[in-house]
Structure 1
Amino acid sequence: MWQRGGVDPTPVDVDVALVGGGGAASLVLAALDRHGLSGLRVAVVDPVHKRGQDRTWAFWDTPGNDLDPMLSASWSRVDVVTPAGRRVLSLAPLRYAMLRSAPVYDRAAEAERRLGATRIGAAAGTLDDDGHRVTVRDTDGRALVRAGWVLDSRPRPPRRPGRTSWLQHFRGWWLAADGPTFDPDRAVLMDFRTPQPARGVSFGYLLPVSDRYALVEYTEFSPDLLTDSGYDAALRGYLDLLGIDPAALTVREVENGVIPMTDAPFVARPSPRVVRLGTAGGATRPSTGFTFSAMHRQAAQVAAALAAGRPPVPRPAYPRRHLWMDAVALRALDRGHVGGAEFFDRLFDRNPPERVLRFLDGATSPAEDLAVMRSSPLLPMTGAVLGDAVGRLRARIRRDPAPAPAPGVGSPTGGQAGR
């Protein structure tokens, strides 16, 4: 790996430039290395070289893949808890897995070295795409890189506001105990006994790494963030529900996060040779905020395409029908047509756990999707479907006003604006 420091007046010429060096870019680098693409000229443009533990990803997948050596823990059975009781879910053939950021960043650094990638420690500004090459400029407009393709994982707002815009926001405590306190074979996926917000849904979860070390987290799906003291009070309250005395534990680390949950459209390919990854590329599931599995899929698809000599353009993260279902679910939750705890409880109660998890990953068939839809509260969801259809029609009318007639012509001419 070549580390470029300062500002060089001569831009680097590469085949692929990764703009942003976080989780999405790290997964791409590892995938490029797995495919043996050592002849590919790669640059990474980011002012920060990510290292260490700054986040934790929890997701479900099938055992036996490239992530196995990096996992902190995994579980074949998880609990979903509501005020009515506890449901123990067997996930086979899937697993619920925990991956911390340090091994991901370490693996990416090793991939950079093996690929001979150039790292440019500067913040990227504009991406000038002429259809043949892309010039990556810094924030002062100086050219840093010229690339055949740019994979941009920087956060970006959607193309336009959504009809429903919520957030998945959370705080987690990494807790250490002096003696055996946690059951490392028992993870809690969702515990809805937490006090529910007036508009939204909350839950806690518990991911034990050992009998003395675990991540305990409080999460909300709602439009508004809490204060620091609000998150801490919610976490203490959840520990009380678990029957765990906070005074007997030490908080080793604190994790916070905010992830968009919206039916707003994200532009995955803003120009011919620029491809967006991560949340900006549509990897975040609107109805849950889950992102990691789609990022992992995108990375594998990008690397496979480059290895085959194809454009590094991943498939859409989720089928269009799933995005529509998410928009309806968000509307139903936002308008209070259905309670969040009730909605998720019915999903797990009336479907095999493996189907629910594959649905949330966008991997179910149309027939399975119909089964998932039938398991939701039909009357409230029907109202949400009608409301969503009206909202889409109104949004389309606002975006596509009828053109004014040309002089002397009795009917409108020209194309529709705003597409």
Structure 2
Amino acid sequence: MSTNPDVVIVGAGAAGLSLAYHLCEPGSDVPLSVVLVDAPPGPLRPPPRTWCFWEPPGGAYDGALASSWPQLRVRGADGTPTVSRPSPYRYKMLRSDAFEALADSRLSAAPGFRRIEATVTAVGDAPDGRGEVHARDARGEPLSVRGRLVFDSRPPHRLPPARTTLLQHFTGWFVRTGRPAFDPATADLMDFRTPQPSHGLSFGYVLPLDPHTALVEYTEFSPAPLDAEGYRRALDRYTHETLGLGTFEVTAREHGVIPMTDGHFPRRTGRSVYRIGTAGGATRPSTGYTFAAVQRQSRAVAARLRAGRPPRLPPHYGMRSRAMDAVMLRALDSGRVDGADFFTRLFRGVPGDRLLRFLDGGSRIHEDLLIGLRTPVAPMLRTVLELPFRARREPSPPSSTSPPTGHEESTS
């Protein structure tokens, strides 16, 4: 089978579904035909997951949010809290099933949209210059879809050569407590009262939905993920000993592994083939946040195509942001900075709204300089001088880890 749409999107995760959603916005000057190739139910289709981001109230997905918080808290290793109200921003949680329902309501009404369930085997340029997707349907029969443009959101099989590669890996429990245990107005972004690993850092992450219900996660930045028992022990200790939740029920679980690397992800892999999402560099290397960058790119690509213009995928983050991320990753990986102390000092010393702009790559140069003064200056300068002489190397393949999922196909 072969069809000839304007756009073929591979994968219906955050990046693929977001692009389809924006391409099929009603009222386009140039109506587009879109085919979304989604993996059939099974191991290639990710389980329900959580995406988090920040923006002012009134965003496009506010009606589908699980919750949002006007107040953020970071706890140092000694338990001292730093609380900020980063107005005009709110920290928002969107569950993948709610986002899928919202997107499906638009896509099902779009006359040029079609969804195919198939297992993709290859993506590349066709001889005629269009993009081509090779796949197998539910019966195992081969099929191909050619389109003027192809956007591939599948997680990368290998990470790119890099000077530093860490993983952000986490497991979370949605818990229901017997007594009120959470402040629904406050999200705990980082709680460093967790035992710190010998290489990297760890923290707790608590997103309350009501006084009795929250997503509680244990997260590490380190070279390799834990096994299931390691996450269970860490969460057991954090929920019982650190948070003192008492008796609670675990109603759902989620797990994710996110690359944190200064490697370069190609955004274009052929004349008509583009990579989007984590595979296209949407994940912020220093934090793992992805969802907001995916939305910016999806809106920009859709606006150009719906206006009859060729696509353009600029870098998700500017050169200055990527350079600062490379320095932070190397300083953390080398052990020159204490990760828990590094992030605690940032949140204590920088106003919340300014820090969120910085973490999203939207800060100005004078703001970056002021933030830099809140970091350990000597070890960071040493790392700046060292980086140009470090070779980029192929990291170990992430085959032993799950594909990037979770807070954004990412987290905090």
| TM-score (normalised: structure 2) | 0.88
Equivalent residue number for residue 166 of structure 1: 166
1:224-262: CA deviations, max 9, x gaps?
1111111111111111211212xx110010100000001
Equivalent residue number for residue 135 of structure 2: 138
2:375 counterpart of 1:376: yes
1:163-214: CA deviations, max 9, x gaps?
1110000000000124433221222111011111100011001111111211
Equivalent residue number for residue 11 of structure 2: 20
Name which of 16, 19, 34 aligns with 2:25: 34
- In structure 1, runs of 5+ residues without a counterpart are 1-7, 397-419
Within 5 Å, which residues of 2 pair with 1:9-408?
A: 11-37=2-28, 39-48=31-40, 54-84=48-78, 85-116=80-111, 117-129=113-125, 130=127, 132-138=129-135, 142-157=142-157, 160-239=160-239, 240-245=241-246, 248-391=247-390, 394-395=391-392
Note the C-alpha offset of 1:395: 4.7
Q: Which moved more, 1:362-371 or 1:217-226?
A: 362-371
- Provide the C-alpha distance between the structure 2 equivalents of 1:349 and 1:65, rounded to a whole number of angstroms: 28
Q: Which moved more, 1:335-344 or 1:113-122?
A: 113-122
Note the C-alpha offset of 1:12: 0.8
Note the C-alpha offset of 1:345: 1.3
Amino acid at match of 1:320: M
1:125/1:141 contact within 8 Å kept: no
- Provide the C-alpha distance between the structure 1 equivalents of 2:87 and 2:336, rounded to a whole number of angstroms: 33
- Provide the C-alpha distance between the structure 1 equivalents of 2:304 and 2:254, rounded to a whole number of angstroms: 35
- Provide the C-alpha distance between the structure 1 equivalents of 2:53 and 2:69, rounded to a whole number of angstroms: 11
1:35/1:307 contact within 8 Å kept: no
Give the secondary-structure state (helix, strand or coil) at the position aligned to 2:148.
strand
| Aligned CA distance change for structure 1 residues 284 and 143 (closer, same or farther; 3 Å) | same
| Aligned CA distance change for structure 1 residues 322 and 349 (closer, same or farther; 3 Å) | same
Q: CA RMSD in A?
A: 2.1
- Matched residue pairs, number? 383
| TM-score (normalised: structure 1) | 0.87
Amino acid at match of 2:343: F
1:243-286: CA deviations, max 9, x gaps?
212xx110010100000001111111111211111100100011
Note the C-alpha offset of 1:358: 1.1
1:159/1:264 contact within 8 Å kept: yes
Relative contact order, CA 8 A, sep 6+: which one is greater? Answer: 2
Amino acid at match of 1:128: G
Give the secondary-structure state (helix, strand or coil) at the position aligned to 2:4.
strand
1:137/1:143 contact within 8 Å kept: yes
1:52-74: CA deviations, max 9, x gaps?
97101122112112011111111
